[in-house]
Amino acid sequence: MDVLVCVKRVPAVGSEILLTADATAIDTRHLGFTIGPHEECAVEEAVRIAERTGGSAGVLTVGPPEADEQLRYAMSMGADHAVRVDDPVADPDPETTAAAITAALRGLPPDVVLFGEASADAGHAQVGFRVACALRRPVVGGVKGIGLDGDRVTLRCDAPDGVEVHEAPLPAVAAVLEGLNLPRYPTIKGRLRAKKATVRVIAPDLSTGRLRTLRLRHRPEARAETVVLGRGAAAAPAVVDVLADLGMVR
């Protein structure tokens, strides 16, 4: 079974996000980069499926050469090949990203294509469905469990009122959520292998989509000063006073 995972290079933000002077992007001068938690689980799942079925686990991204770092991270987790669709824009719009992935997939026939439910930065939450539509493939989003059964795949999702199980013929597309599995940490051996691996680069003609970022802004935060109730165990009576005021002491 051949599985391909689409990942995005995103800034690894801490507790405070700084913006560039023109406010069109996150200031990444002092930040590392990563792939989102949903995508990390997608890579883990692809590697497990490939191990179980004797197939391949590929990883694909759309972005500049720097994004090879994220492809190599996925390969250090066990992905066996990587493709980068060259795009000088670090955070392309979702129409462009979907068109780039669709173009790349026309030359690669994986049985299952996995996406994260939404990227950790822009969060457009639509690329997987756009790609599935363009390729006329079955697609399920919000996936928290994947089972393989011959030429079919079963996909378990959390619905607002319970759990749903969907079944789709292969080839299929799924957008997954963190919690699907517990991703492994790369081994030293995996890291060395990934360092030497080749990233295949393709450059299809891409036009720009029609959702364009003008500026980013911080959400206005209106919180009063923190009231420090005390230090250590001595603060307990003050904490219980607060709980009592909130009607939580029964």
Rule CB under 8 A: choose which of 18, 89, 192, 240 binds another protein: 240
Q: How far is the CB of 191 from another protein (least distance, A)?
A: 19
Residues 131 and 102 sit within 8 Å (Cβ to Cβ)? yes
Verify binding: residue 120, another protein, rule CB under 8 A: yes
Query: Within positions 137 to 176, which residues make up the interface with another protein, using CB under 8 A?
Result: 137-142, 154-155, 159-169, 172
Verify binding: residue 182, another protein, rule CB under 8 A: yes
Total residues contacting another protein by CB under 8 A comes to 88
Report the alpha-carbon distance of residue 101 to residue 117 in Å, rounded: 16
- Which residue lies nearer to another protein by CB, 201 or 240? 240
Rule CB under 8 A: choose which of 17, 18, 192, 203 binds another protein: 17
Q: Which segment (30-38, 60-68, 187-195, 198-206) binds another protein by CB under 8 A?
A: 30-38
Residues 93 and 209 sit within 8 Å (Cβ to Cβ)? yes
Which of 205, 146, 198 lies closest to 172 in space, CA to CA?
Answer: 146
Q: How far is the CB of 215 from another protein (least distance, A)?
A: 5
- Which residue lies nearer to another protein by CB, 203 or 249? 249
Distances (CA, A) of 169 to 105, 138, 152, 231, 236: 18, 7, 4, 59, 58
- Which residue lies nearer to another protein by CB, 58 or 128? 128
φ and ψ at residue 100, rounded to 5 degrees: -65, -45
Q: How far is the CB of 224 from another protein (least distance, A)?
A: 7
Report the alpha-carbon distance of residue 90 to residue 84 in Å, rounded: 12
Length of the chain: 250
Report the alpha-carbon distance of residue 8 to residue 35 in Å, rounded: 6
Report the alpha-carbon distance of residue 62 to residue 84 in Å, rounded: 6
- Which residue lies nearer to another protein by CB, 32 or 230? 230
Q: Which segment (11-19, 73-81, 103-111, 197-205) binds another protein by CB under 8 A?
A: 11-19
Other beta carbons within 10 angstroms of residue 36's beta carbon come to 20
Query: Within positions 36 to 95, which residues make up the interface with another protein, using CB under 8 A?
Result: 36-38, 93-95
Verify binding: residue 233, another protein, rule CB under 8 A: yes
